[in-house]
Structure 1
């Protein structure tokens, strides 16, 4: 007996030593990885097209965007001028003072919730503030890193399909934001509660699908909370800390996480009004800085641009060996755009729901600018700079992936990630631009966390009630996750939470398709109010 016990003990010693050697990150990773992999495999379930695995969620987003573009007769392009004028406040007098009645949804709660009795316009932020709050959640690392990887893998031609997908996504954002305003609720303190949770529950109830609406709304609320802690928080904090540590040769990101958490906390405690005031300053600054630097590089290389445009055009419409031909390049471009602007995810409608207006469609039209700025302008600028600088300096070979790890390799066959690739491209034209890029990454991450904190708290209050305790509890948890993200490398946790963001697509798209006729009616009502000739 003693010998058996001694033998078992000797066998256990190496295991105990191994367990002690594991860090807390590694312990969590080991426990959570199987669960994260399972969830991610469902959300990003692939369908093979010309030998390329495409997540089904991307196909759903693109088909949905195409449907809405056709259903609303290309309102994304047709009403772009109206969108710009509305964002600038040209129609504010009509939005705020029109004799047109406020819809019942603006002043009526659900399930007996107490609401404020509104006299006049409903809302907390302007059209521009709502747009920048929504943009701050999508304009970020995807524009800097994701586009670089997409172009490097798919070739220059992916740029064309990325732009097309951006235009299609404008139609989806129009539908989401219109519904977000139409079915929003107003609390006793004047705070706005809106987004897919509310239009799924209330909108589908109007179509005698109340049971389905409640289920979809509940699922969405769970997904948006998970997404806010992970992809909208930990991932952003982690990447910003990584850039900061690299710039200053630091080993730990804990102190950076604490500072970031304090800055985020100061803003989010003030709610959407303060978030709107901050993002309306940060987002234009970020966009001007990034697009401005891109334009400087393009002007410096004017003689190369014609060759770059030929590469982009030929890569988009001619067979190429990079990723298996025309359809392969198309898929890479579409996929990057879908992940960049998040049209169809529904999150942006939460920010847009807080706008001051009597016309839901007014904000839907403004929201359509989001994918245009995010994908058509900023992502395209990144792509152009990478194609031009690669032509000039031969930084990497398109489609040069490591056969085993599928990691992108540079010109010397060394592994390189998206941020590094963009940094090298900009540095090759503007010396030491990597310092500015680090600042941009931190600002992008900061602004993304601000908006996602608002998205998450909307899901949290939907599930746990509109109270100060619920509000404080969520915000405290959110700030804790900022620190955790900056000081750890919990890959599976972040992967799981990122999957939660795109899990939001499934309940959301169902609601958008079923409620599209409501949006068409609201669009007609608004265009009539502003005297727009082409109302259909």
Structure 2
């Protein structure tokens, strides 16, 4: 245990030095870049399709999502109503108190006291809290910044393919969350430990693949820790600070980083219960605020909507579309959706595992709502705002990008990235509306850090044990990295950490494919319990 702990500290020592000597960012960047590039080149190894390099991890995610959609007979669509009702608590009585009749029971259908074990239910959060905790990790800057870049590269037609990929991703989330609950463990203190680490180890052991399961589980735990410090922390803090500095004209982000660290610390000390209590309030608020603001812009330009929708539809299927025609636009849309909702990464199953239920599939069905909200609704809103405002004001030409994929704006010659492009679109519709976007960015970043802290600590405790020391050490490191991310420019470190997030796909999808029959059995059991035929 101690040897493992020391080894990991040695691995992350270069990152810890940031907190002491932020002035040497460039030197560390120079030393770290070759390592980051090597890891990223493996995870995002490109396969060329119609002249476009597509990361192999995206192909795995999409093929997996398509397989699960077909294998579960489009449960992502047919069970959407059940998912919404379950999230609202309609089936809580079934989840918490139903009686499982024992084979040979001489008095079937009797009172609950006949099967005490079946009546008991473990868990720390409600269906809705688990959903919002998972959503808070995926509904973030990718929905605002990434979508803007996707539309700029692929044109309006990429929107259609983002929506389709979002629907497919719902099936993957169903599988992940079901397995997360099925193979979770309960600590002596009643806290829940779940996610891919556990269903890879325990589930694959049931399939006579114990050795493979152990290796994949450890790899996943390492990847989720790396991802939590980078993409789930430093990147979020960095982008939120940038927007804050832009709004108020500040030079340094150190104080803002400290403030965010304090606020995050107050929440994460309470664990998943506190995170769930906060996210169930923040996520609906920020979602409604962002979607509401987008709808205001779209409605104000109602006369342009038909032309905008025509651009979206034609752009999705026109052979003369930018970047290689139909397949090129399809790839751009699919890729953005995969990065946005993280279906197949497995991280969301860690949050969903903490739900109060005795039916694993109940949470799997609820979890399928995640990609629908994240990609089908929020990403679509961002895309429509970009298309409508660009059609009205002629802000930029699609596919007119510089070497860094920044959009070259018409008239001004400015080169803007994703968040800035969305901000300009908001302001072009209603002057000052970008303030709402800044608030949304900060809230998205804050909520993302909350959930990723929980994901990371689960991986940390899987490797180093569930002691108080392990708990405190991880949380302290996580808060330090918030200040680092807010104060520094750490391109290669963040690139490496993002690669760690998507490295999680490889062990996770292997487990999902092997354990899919288990999920089918759980799904049938739950649907029977609520009186619905599958």
Is the shorter-chain TM-score for this pair beyond 0.5, marking a shared fold? yes
Q: Compute the TM-score of the two structures, normalised by the length of structure 1.
A: 0.92
**Equivalence map 1:18-33=2 (5 Å):** 23-33=23-33
Q: CA deviation at 1:101?
A: 7.9
Aligned to 1:95: 95
Q: Equivalent residue for 2:421?
A: 421
**1:190 counterpart residue number:** 190
Partner of 2:409 in structure 1?
410
Structure 1 match to 2:254: 254
Counterpart CA distance in 2 for 1:322 and 1:375 is: 22
Q: For 1:120 and 1:229, locate their aligned partners in 2 and report how far apart those are by CA, in whole Å.
A: 36
Q: CA deviation at 1:515?
A: 0.1
SS of 2:54 mapped into structure 1: strand
The answer to whether the Cα contact below 8 Å between 2:130 and 2:354 also exists between their aligned partners in 1 is yes
Normalised by the size of structure 2, how large is the TM-score?
0.92
Structure 2 unaligned runs (5+)? 1-20, 103-116
Residues 99 and 119 in structure 2, CA contact (< 8 A), matched pair in contact too: no
The corresponding residue for 2:279 is 279
Q: How does 1:263-302 map to 2 (within 5 A)?
A: 263-302=263-302
Residue in structure 1 matched with residue 109 of structure 2 by the alignment: none
Unaligned runs of 5+ in 1: 1-20, 103-116
- Give 1:411 shift: 1.3
Superimposed CA distance per residue, residues 386-422 of structure 1 (whole angstroms, 9 cap, x where no aligned partner): 10111100011100012x4443211133210111111
CA distance in 1, matches of 2:408, 2:54: 22
Equivalent positions of 1:54-453 (< 5 A) are 54-100=54-100, 120-402=120-402, 404-412=403-411, 413-453=413-453
Query: How far apart are residue 119 of structure 1 and its match?
Result: 6.9
Work out the CA distance in 1 between the residues paired with 2:167 and 2:456. Answer: 27
Measure the CA separation in 2 of the matches of 1:291 and 1:485. Answer: 28
User: How many Å apart are 1:434 and its aligned residue?
Assistant: 1.3
Structure-1 separation of matches of 2:241 and 2:479:
15
Mapping 1:42-53, distance limit 5 Å: 42-53=42-53
C-alpha distance in structure 1 between counterparts of 2:420 and 2:448, whole Å: 20
Distance 1:406 1:514 in 2: 38
Partners of 2:28 and 2:250 lie apart in 1 by: 24
CA RMSD across the alignment: 1.4
Report the Cα distance in structure 2 between the residues aligned to 1:101 and 1:340, rounded to whole angstroms: 42
Count of residues paired in the alignment: 499
| Contact map agreement 2:100 2:118 (CA 8 A) in 1 | no
Deviation at 1:22, TM superposition (A): 10
Measured in 2, the distance between the counterparts of 1:430 and 1:208 equals: 61
Give the Å deviation of 1:298: 1.1
Q: C-alpha deviations, 1:223-282, integer Å up to 9, x for none?
A: 000000000000000000111111111111000010000000000000000000000000
d(CA) in 2 for partners of 1:344, 1:375: 14
- CA offsets 1:90-131 (integer angstroms, 9 cap, x no match): 0000000011389xxxxxxxxxxxxxx997111000000000
CA distance in 1, matches of 2:405, 2:93: 55
Q: Partners of 1:123 and 1:410 in 2: how far apart?
A: 51
